[in-house]
Structure 1
């Protein structure tokens, strides 16, 4: 379960300019699957040794890096696919379109169906004392906040 807390932000643009708006942000979570814990899960599910698992994960990372450097997409089986995305910038003249006019490459992950189902089933809860006094804490719908403006990542 991911718990959220309520924060406020004074809006500087848009139809709510000047208003204080409220939004949910995830509380700092200590839930993090480390590489060591991942190794343990793989060891428990297979007959591989820790050395075998580490070698496989290291080799996977190296192979993925080489493929991405070539601009190839990488199919990770049931997990999903990694793709290098390079967006263009619009230019007024055809002769201005060069390699320099391309944006910085990014890697995008496209999860497969089983992974999408896994993250869409995450349970969420907003800890809000004011909502509690008005009828209980309000859970977010699975997979989202229900819309609205995105919070300022700087806090």
Structure 2
């Protein structure tokens, strides 16, 4: 994995106020599209790329339905998914209207400890990457899929 070093002023801890070098991952190297992910997963397998994609899409649909019902979904070696939302505050309980005051519904993912930890990583120092203010165009999720 590529990393770069940058000098930063520490804002807390024993080194507060000191200028120290800190490593940051350089992840912009390559974006793996959904189609490429399915292709890689199909390698050395009896399951085809289209079947893998179908499982992902079905998983998304089922996960959305279950979380919409308030369930926490255990996804085994990946981790778990749970529903959450933000809510506006009201002074009186009787003034609370879910359709008005509950906003931004989301699914939160908590990776399992095993999935969270990267294994077999090699590190390679690269020059610090300039920060750009332009947003990258997202890659397509595959033909015919949202």
Q: Determine if the TM-score, normalized by the shorter chain, exceeds 0.5.
A: yes
- TM-score, length basis structure 1: 0.54
Alignment coverage as a number of residue pairs: 116
| Unaligned residue ranges in structure 2 (runs of 5+) | 9-21, 136-146
Aligned partners of 1:103 and 1:122: how far apart in 2? 42
Structure 1 runs not aligned, ≥5 long: 9-22, 129-152
Cα offset, 1:91, TM superposition: 2.9
How big is the shift at 1:28?
6.7
More helix by share: 1
Structure whose residues are more often strand by fraction: 2
Q: Separation in 2 of the partners of 1:55 and 1:103?
A: 30
Q: 1:55 & 1:69 partners in 2: Cα distance?
A: 21
If asked which structure has higher relative contact order (CA below 8 Å, sep 6+), I would say 2
The correspondence of residues 16-55 of structure 1 with structure 2, limited to 5 A, is 29-55=28-54
Structure 2 length-normalised TM: 0.56
Post-superposition CA distance 1:49-90 (Å, at most 9, x none):
223223222322222233234343332221111211023333
TM superposition shift of 1:40: 2.5
